[in-house]
Amino acid sequence: MGLGALGCATLLALARKGYAVEGFEQYRVGNDIGASGGRTRQHRLIYGEGAAYTSLLQRASQLWQQLEQEQQTQLFWGGGFLTIGTPESAWFQAVENSAKQQDLPHERLSRAAINARFPRLNLDEDEEGLFDPAGGILLTHELLIASAQQAQQLGAEVHEHATVSEITANETGVDLRVNGEIRRFDRVIVTTGAWSKKLLPALPIASRRLGMSFHLGKESGFDSQAFPPTMRVTPGRAMWNTQPLPDGKNFKFFVGDAELNEQHDPQLVATEATDSLTPLLYQRIDQHVAEAVNGGHRTIVGGGTWPEAYTWDQAPLLGELATEPHVWIGIGLSGHGFKLAPALGELLAQAIAGEVDLARDWPLFSPARQFAEPQAVYSR
């Protein structure tokens, strides 16, 4: 239940295995309200977050390529991904080590090389880049809609404007209250993102809103080949992402820093959100977009903030709950889960089919793992 990136991916993975499966979404599939809103998401294969993710990212790429063929629609725009930072910094080194250890194609680019190849990007004098040729951007709404459609073609049922308000599990199955009516299932998988604590209050997650702004390019040079998605992480400076938009003329900008990364009320979800973040966010965007991008308008022509569920170690919670029989979760994608979702959905389906033992093979994602004291999460 909850048909965002992970819910749609899980629905499709279960439908591919022949399960009789139903998906419930409180809004519509492909909505702009949940964490999967905002048109596009970055994809990269070289992953400083840990070697364990590489096989999942490779599998996710195969799965959306398969979906592109099945639904005859473009879901991914290639062109590469550029990590920006100072070469001696921990993040830059983690990304470079990941590329080397996993033997993934990559290019180390000097500032001068980046200026020549991607003239719309503006780096500080001491910064360099690491180019991942397998990176690019994913079209979020299209991907969710295509996944749900494919699942439906394989027999899945999709219920929109269907809000689950209660989950009651016992040894023989699970009752869901959907729009006030009780429905009984053998098992349920909860993929409700930042809303999850409403249903499962004990989950170790915090919800935060991340903001992105859309800008007009003044000149050409904003297509995904000339202006790849980037992530700039330099200690002591603002962390930012740039992304081309699929029209090839305009771009997206994300800025995070210590203040923006503050924890917010874990119960804060879209319907209850205040605008408290907005003035601060827009002030930061104003400050940084002009520094980071050459030939772009600072004026914000779209965008917003979207709620995301974070865990304290930024790895998702994936598996069956020890306390609630037959209740599985896929929650806490922590600001980097869109690109992983098809592979995580498949893992959940494989675990339900008994093909994978998540507790043994993926302890990284165990819902029962213990966390250190909650600390400020770092957004990507």
Ligand X SMILES: Cc1cc2nc3c(=O)[nH]c(=O)nc-3n(C[C@H](O)[C@H](O)[C@H](O)COP(=O)(O)OP(=O)(O)OC[C@H]3O[C@@H](n4cnc5c(N)ncnc54)[C@H](O)[C@@H]3O)c2cc1C
Q: Which residues are at the interface with ligand X (CB under 6 A)?
A: 1-7, 24-27, 31, 33-36, 38, 41-42, 163-164, 191-195, 199, 210, 212, 306, 308, 333, 335-339
DSSP 8-state assignment for residue 93: H
On whether the CB atoms of residues 139 and 39 are closer than 8 A, the answer is yes
Residue 58 in 3-state DSSP? helix
Closer by beta carbon to ligand X, 31 or else 93:
31
Closer by beta carbon to ligand X, 193 or else 228:
193
Tell me how many degrees the CA angle 354-176-2 measures, rounded to the nearest 5.
Answer: 70
Residue nearest to ligand X (CB): 4
Q: Write down the least CB distance from residue 291 to ligand X, Å.
A: 20
Closer by beta carbon to ligand X, 114 or else 269:
269
Q: Write down the least CB distance from residue 264 to ligand X, Å.
A: 13
Residue 189 in 3-state DSSP? strand
Closer by beta carbon to ligand X, 2 or else 296:
2
Q: Write down the least CB distance from residue 341 to ligand X, Å.
A: 6
Q: Write down the least CB distance from residue 170 to ligand X, Å.
A: 20
Cα–Cα distances (Å) from 253 to 72, 109, 270, 300, 377, in that order, read 29, 22, 21, 10, 20
Say which residue the tokens 């062109």 belong to.
Answer: 79
CA pair distance 197, 268, nearest whole angstrom: 10
Q: Write down the least CB distance from residue 140 to ligand X, Å.
A: 7
CA pair distance 309, 301, nearest whole angstrom: 26
Closer by beta carbon to ligand X, 77 or else 306:
306
Q: Computed over its alpha carbons, how large is the radius of gyration of the chain?
A: 20
Terminal CA-to-CA distance of the chain, rounded, Å?
Answer: 26
Q: Write down the least CB distance from residue 116 to ligand X, Å.
A: 26
Closer by beta carbon to ligand X, 33 or else 134:
33
Tokens of 37: 């809103």
